[in-house]
Amino acid sequence: MENIRDWVRSTVEELEKKLVENLELKDMIKVSSDFTKFKEIESLTNQYFELLDEKELWKEEPGSEEEIQKIDGKAESLANEILTLLLPEDEFKDRNVFLEIRAGTGGDEAALFAGDLLRMYLRYAEMKNWSCEIIDESKSDLGGYKEVVVRIKGKNSGTYMKYERGVHRVQRVPVTESGGRIHTSTATVAVLPEIRDVDIFVDPKDLRIDTYRASGAGGQYVNKTESAIRITHLPTGIVVTCQSERSQHQNKDKAMMVLRAKLYDLAKGEQDEKVSSQRKNQIGSAERSEKIRTYNFPQNRVTDHRINLTIYNLQAVIYGDLDLIIPKLIEYDIEQQLKELGII
């Protein structure tokens, strides 16, 4: 934080000098806005270091653990607020997300692994007090998932889940393997921010909407009623389906939410082609083809390849304790962004 404080002070001094220059109106408005923003950040950094000084004083007092804990909480909150003001916003901030898991190479074992990932994310969401809703699913014969789409709602769900995008690889002896050989299979995870109507326009004339009978749980009702929805976006060929609700209207609404998210993702992908390779490959903005993590069951090992993090506690991770990994990814990502800004 000391580097940030020094950089903010230097920026405030530079902006103060510019304010007295003879600038054009649009430049003056920009400089004035930046000055107000950085004065706020400067005030927050001063408060942060005042708390650290106060903490040092409390350390000399016996039985001050509770006060120190309160100060740590306030300092952490201030640090998060400072970083929020400094770092550029992304499309995941304050957004719910759609999680899409697809079985990759490995046949039935890949589908079983996709199911393991789904359960891992559902447990993690429960730990974070997020709510989950399966929008669409296609199960395999052995109970795995060829594909599944989940809507995740909750505070900071997008901020955390965006780091799961990419190819996940599993190394283990499949249940279908009689010879005891270790196989390698993959599943692809996509995380899309939930997009509002105002964020992207979808012309109804570009859509083909089909109805069909839902499959899976639901008894006789789903077999007799064409409540499932398939929407095809004709210009791009993107197809989304939803059969989670008994109401055709509700399924259509949810399918449209997924479609908007996919169209936004497509448009952003085209835009990202124009940015530098350094920025495009930044952690947290992984391409779907990028191998990000390996789960090695025989060695009880999970390796995140983006930051070379290895954890020998695979069961904890696969049972949903992703806080062993994701906070470290966030910390690394913030560090890289601060380096790009020239702060550290």
- Written as one string, the DSSP assignment of 278-292 is HHHTSTTS--TT-EE
- The pLDDT score that the predictor gives to residue 218 is 41
- Average pLDDT score over the chain: 87
> Rounded to the nearest 5 degrees, what angle is found at the Cα of 92, between the Cα atoms of 88 and 97?
180
With b for 16 or more beta-carbon neighbours within 10 A and e for fewer, the 22-36 pattern comes to eeeeeeeeebeebbe
SS3 217: coil
E strand or H helix that includes residue 8: helix 2-19
Residue 89 — very low, low, confident or very high, per pLDDT cuts 50/70/90?
confident
- Is the pLDDT at 279 greater than 80? The verdict is no
- The pLDDT score that the predictor gives to residue 197 is 62
- The pLDDT score that the predictor gives to residue 168 is 96
Most confident of 117-131, 180-194, 210-224: 117-131
pTM metric for this prediction:
0.74
Residues 58-84 have a mean pLDDT of: 88
Residues 264-287 have a mean pLDDT of: 58
Task: Give the Cβ contact number of residue 65 at 10 Å.
Answer: 11
Task: Give the Cβ contact number of residue 95 at 10 Å.
Answer: 21
Q: What percent of the chain has pLDDT over 90?
A: 54
Q: Which long-range contacts (CB under 8 A, 24 or more apart) does 47-50 make?
A: 47/78, 48/1, 48/75, 48/78, 48/79, 48/82, 49/1, 49/5
Range of weakest confidence among 2-11, 99-108, 198-207: 198-207
E strand or H helix that includes residue 171: strand 166-172
- Is the pLDDT at 205 greater than 90? The verdict is yes
Half-sphere exposure of 142 (CA within 13 A, CB side): 14
**What's phi and psi for 86, nearest 5 deg?**
-80, -40
- Whether the CB-CB separation of 84 and 4 falls below 8 Å is answered with no
- The pLDDT score that the predictor gives to residue 13 is 93
1 vs 256, residue with greater confidence: 256
- Is the pLDDT at 285 greater than 90? The verdict is no
Residue 271 — very low, low, confident or very high, per pLDDT cuts 50/70/90?
low
Residue 245 — very low, low, confident or very high, per pLDDT cuts 50/70/90?
confident
- The pLDDT score that the predictor gives to residue 156 is 87
Rounded CA-CA distance 249/230 in Å is 12
- The pLDDT score that the predictor gives to residue 264 is 85
